[in-house]
Amino acid sequence: MIGFPKPTKKRKLTPLEKAIAKAAERQGVALKGQNKFGAVAKDGFPSTLERDTYSQLLLRETAGEIRNLRRQVRVELTEARIPCKIDFGFEFVADGEPGYAEAKGKETQFWRNYVKLWRKYGTAKLEIWKAGRQGPVLVEVITPVKQEEDKK
């Protein structure tokens, strides 16, 4: 996250700060005090999609399908221990296996590469939630190859 003072009525952005802000916007980098891609923060969440996805996961936790729901979970991928941050982590009650959920608005090349890594080196199932007309929709569950091989 890049940080510099927010513009106020007393102080305007310098030309350099304006150039940095434009470049960051083009690359999808959040500036301090802003969310990527113009998402509107709601109720302590970076976007309404993430907030609504959390609500869906809370319903599943109340129903007894999952437990130990957490936000912004850090996971390491590959033997190189590449760090990544997942929106939500939890455990499935039925088998005690961990699970993760990601609320995905705009897909970027970085995200597509990240999914490829997860398919091969992920530590558990990853649920992908996207915005639907009536709220978040579970569109895909990625089971890593490593996890599938362990079950055989």
Residue 1 scores a pLDDT above 50? no
Positive or negative: CA dihedral 42, 141, 1, 37: negative
- Percentage of the chain modeled with pLDDT above 90: 38
pLDDT, the chain, mean: 80
Q: Is the pLDDT of residue 24 over 70?
A: no
pLDDT of residue 128: 94
Would you list the domain boundaries of the chain?
1-34, 48-151
In the chain, the percentage of residues whose pLDDT exceeds 70 is: 69
Is the pLDDT assigned to residue 25 strictly greater than 70?
A: no
Phi, psi of 77, rounded to the nearest 5 degrees: -110, 150
| Chain Cα centroid distance, residue 100 | 10
pTM of the model: 0.70
DSSP tag of 30: P
Supply the pLDDT for residue 26.
59
> Residue type for 129, please?
W
Highest mean pLDDT pick, 29-33, 38-42, 109-113: 109-113
pLDDT score, position 76 = 86
Whether CATH 3.40.1350 fits 48-151: yes
Chain centroid offset of residue 116 CA: 15
